[in-house]
Amino acid sequence: MIEYFLNMKIIKNTVFVILALSFISCSESQNYNAELKGNTMGTYYVINIVDIPKNLELKKIRLEIEKSLTLTNKILSNWDKSSEISKLNDVKNVGLIKISNQLKEVLKQANFINNKSDGYFDITADPLIELWGFGYKKKKTNIIPTENEIKNALLLVNQKELIKINYTKNEFYKKNKNLKLNLSAIGKGYGIDLIGKTLESLGLKNYLINIGGDLLVKGYNKNKENWKIGIENPNLKEKLVKEIINVSNKGIASSGDYKNFYVSNGKQYSHIINPITGKPINHQTKSVTVVSQNATDADGWATALLVMGRKKGIKLAEDTKKAVLFIEDVDGKLLKFKSSEFKKLVKE
């Protein structure tokens, strides 16, 4: 088992687990299959690879995966004080900051989702996350912020207005010296995609990458079929698979409000913060699963649509032709709402 980054919290601390139902076994005689497991980003990872050429050693694959995870951590982790994002946050000046190609890619996707979701996804929400006790600086306190504290925190939350990026020159413009970015809602997906690119560079085309329940699946499984993915029931007492889908060449991510929360004066407060209101979400939607072209996009959109809620989110999913599953608590019963694109993926 590979173990590293155990001090790094979960990049997206929601983990609505997706269970891979197709595991690796023996393959064609000239090739072999492998399953690599370990810990990363404060959670687990499982990587299943099918039809590995016999001249490609597993040790080589393992080493390259380690490099990808290390790179992701050193660029995107808010929990690593020496990471690129932490250093950017520590700059107490208004002005230009040079950024890496990797960070630029993540910020570009974050800006796209922020724009398309009308601000329900916002990487400048770090002051709110910290204020409510779900950040990397302090633990949950069960002390509810005052309206004035929320109002002050919101002054530093507005991705569209507070940051500007020159993608050609790799320049990030910080419009407020106290601005802080939090990539917890998109960084895990990017890490998964980075591992995928690494596997592709090694000539591997058939694999499933699972980090904390978010996935990237490519090619086929051991049976030369699409990957069959089970989506877990948000009711943790039942521990049942709520849906099964057939997918290939897709990123899959889920976000839920029921695993990371605290209770104060009898009321539950979720770690999923609405960057528009400055408060934890409070609606019937318990989880959102997104199937997209890559894990980065799926990761970001899962959070955006959960914050938005099913009523607004399902309309956006239809308008943008996104494959999305909403699971909602209606009078104590969990109901599923599927976008048209998601219905096409469901295993009958």
* Rounded-to-integer distance, Cα 301 and Cα 117, Å: 8
The residue that leads in pLDDT, 140 or 296, is 296
Question: Are 91 and 70 contained in the same domain?
Answer: no
Q: Which of 107, 142, 174 marks a domain boundary?
A: 174
Q: Show the tokens assigned to 122.
A: 């916002």
Provide the strand spans (E) within 43-186: 43-53, 95-98, 163-166, 171-174
Q: pTM of the predicted model, to two decimals?
A: 0.89
pLDDT, tens digit, 9 for 90 and up, residues 220-240? 999 999 999 998 776 655 556
Single out the residue of 17, 18, 31 nearest to residue 224, CA to CA. 31
Question: Are 338 and 215 contained in the same domain?
Answer: yes
pLDDT, tens digit, 9 for 90 and up, residues 85-120? 999 999 999 999 999 999 999 999 999 999 999 999
Structurally, how many domains does the chain consist of? 2
Does some domain include residue 81? no
Does some domain include residue 169? yes
What is the average pLDDT score of the chain?
87
**Residue 172 carries which side chain, given as an amino acid letter?**
F
Domain ranges, residue 236: 2-74+186-343
Question: Are 106 and 69 contained in the same domain?
Answer: no
Q: Which of 124, 139, 174 marks a domain boundary?
A: 174
Question: Are 217 and 334 contained in the same domain?
Answer: yes
Provide the strand spans (E) within the chain: 2-3, 18-20, 31-40, 43-53, 95-98, 163-166, 171-174, 206-211, 214-218, 227-232, 241-247, 250-256, 261-264, 267-270, 273-274, 279-280, 285-292, 323-330, 333-338
- Could you tell me the CATH number of the domain that includes residue 130? 1.10.3980.10
Does some domain include residue 41? yes
Question: Are 268 and 334 contained in the same domain?
Answer: yes
Question: Are 288 and 210 contained in the same domain?
Answer: yes
Other residues' Cβ atoms within 10 Å of the Cβ of residue 303: 27
Question: Are 281 and 312 contained in the same domain?
Answer: yes
Check if the beta carbon of residue 255 is closer than 8 Å to that of residue 287. yes
